[in-house]
Chain A
Amino acid sequence: MSSFFDLPFEEPASAEAAGGKDEPMAATPLPPEPDARRILTVSQLTARIRTLLEEQFFEVWVEGELSNCKVWTSGHMYFTLKDRGSQIKGVMFGSALRLLRFKPQDGLRVVARGRVSVYGPKGEYQIACEHMEPEGLGARQLAFEQLKERLAAAGFFDPQRKRPLPALPRKIGIVTSLDGAAVRDIIKVLRRRYANAHLVIRPTRVQGDGAAMDIMRAVRAIGRVPDVDVVIIGRGGGSIEDLWAFNEEVVARAIAGCPVPTISAVGHETDVTIADFVADLRAPTPSAAAEMVVSRKDDFCARIDRLSQQLARTMDARLHRLDARLRLLESRSGYAGAHGRIAMRSRHAAELSHELRRAIREQLARRERAYHALRLKLETFDLRRRLGSIRTRLVAADGQLGAAFTRAHHRHDARLRTAVARLESLSPLAVLGRGYAVCWDADRTRVIRDASSVSPGDRVRVTLNRGELDCEVSKGGPG
């Protein structure tokens, strides 16, 4: 325990603490005295150490090398920060850890910000980190910002440059490492969503020297593979150094020059790279990229089936309406012939209706042929049953239509006969059958109704029930 009190900062801390209070403390002689003599319990001492440390090191920056990094199931990371001469235990809580843009790893030199805290039960102190960044980040960050600015100025990030992804890619290109988890995540998700997806993978190094050039070549090569109509470019999570290749200009330019739409999927959700800005779409993770690249096959099938059903339902309704309209027309035509219409008109109507009927029959036949053809095409569809019912309805409609016109035709025939009979009954010629005769003038232009209108010697014509007589008046005058 004695070594515990040899801590390098105890002395400066107490000196610092005493610094401001020296004078007033000196004026009151009491405090130092009892302190020196009083025997403290371990807990009391620890409490005082805690107060001292936690007040003095409420916020410190410290640099060192990470070791013994371990993330617990709680999500907190425990580690040791060391330099050549010393080490300090540290913790970073999950909430802060998640915000890091890099993955803390053993051997990484970092600058950490946090407060020192004391854990009484074990008599240990540690630094609770709120933030951490890799040493040398500053230079990289600067390079990142500068490249981003340059590419933005060159129009690489323009929204109008972003191309939409194909709804159903023929082949999906993937540029990543075969060794990482990313490629398996992508394959797994794609298989689940769209089992028969055709994937083309262009393996590439994704970190280390030459990775950027490798990625660039891979993107160029895969963009030229026939039928590859979307490319996922990415890798799994890693430190900011690990992801750095995706911040290189050559990669950015290769992505921008890719002839088919691209999705970047680099690291975790919080990792943002230049590639993300240039790609047509940014996915937070490789798995998410796989989800973006194609909807579930089931969803597609459901959508197509829904549309097909709507299609059939609409046609069904259409036929319903057609049927109703035919009925209406048919019922109207029943009123078409009012009493007293002459035969010719009736015959004319009958002829028209016959033509109409033939025309509609032809239409129906054509329609039926069309349906028949469609029905054959639909053999493999769920629609088949649906269309079968439509066809039944169509046949029924056809039958109804035929029957309607037959009825109409009969009615017209009957009306024709009635009209002709009526016409005949009204005809003056009809009375001739009963023995009457009609007397005309010689030209048969005028019916002679008055005997005084003719003189002896005039010629007249007499129409009998059958035949005519040519006569000469021998005696006449008013009767």
Chain B
Amino acid sequence: MDPTIKDFEAALTELDTIVKKLEDGDIPLEQSLQLFERGVQLSRFCHARLEEAERRIEILNERGQLQDAPAGLLTDDGDTLKAKGKS
């Protein structure tokens, strides 16, 4: 993604700061437009990051390999889980 944005948290914090700056400060129009544009960029980034993560459960096994978790883990059915977990 955008190399100027460190991570979700930083983006959210910066967005906060920009909104405050725009609200409080009497900054030149040109600069406030830049801030506005940056703000739009940041909120897009945040939204994207929220959607980005894969809905996925992996199991890290003893040998350090990642495998998809048994389907039983995703259900509320404890018996399925137990059966899978023990197999």
Contact = CB atoms under 8 A, between A and B. Distances in A.
Contacts of B1: none
Interface residues of A, number: 49
B45 to A, nearest CB: 10
A307 B12 CA distance: 9
Contacts of B32: 315, 318
B73 A318 contact: no
Contact of B40 (A168, A171, A367, A378): A378
A197 B51 CA distance: 9
Contacts of A314: 19, 22-23, 36
B19 A374 contact: no
Given A187-B74, A304-B46, A374 B53 contact: no
A308 B85 CA distance: 45
B59 A184 contact: no
Contact of B55 (A167, A197, A303, A311): A197
Majority DSSP secondary structure for residues of B touching A: helix
A308 B43 contact: yes
Contact of A178 (B12, B73, B74, B76): B73
A178 B37 contact: no
Contacts of A17: none
A411 interface: no
Interface string A110-128: 0000000000000000000
A202 B43 CA distance: 34
Contacts of A225: 60, 66
A180 B47 CA distance: 34
Contact of A374 (B7, B37, B46, B50): B37
A304 B12 contact: yes
B60 A201 contact: yes
A370 B29 CA distance: 12
Q: Which of the four size classes fits the interface of chain B?
A: 35 or more
A179 B50 contact: no
Contacts of B64: 221
A101 to B, nearest CB: 26
Given A166-B9, A222-B60, A200 B66 contact: yes
Given A196-B51, A203-B59, 7 more contacts: A178-B81, A181-B78, A197-B53, A300-B12, A310-B23, A314-B23, A381-B40
Interface of A: 166-168, 170-171, 178-179, 181, 183-184, 187-188, 194-203, 221-222, 225, 297, 300-301, 303-305, 307-308, 310-311, 314-315, 318, 322, 363, 367, 370, 373-374, 377-378, 380-381, 383
24 contacts: A168-B49, A168-B50, A183-B73, A184-B73, A195-B55, A196-B55, A198-B53, A198-B55, A199-B57, A199-B69, A221-B60, A300-B46, A301-B50, A307-B19, A311-B18, A311-B22, A311-B36, A314-B22, A318-B29, A318-B32, A374-B37, A381-B43, A383-B40, A383-B43
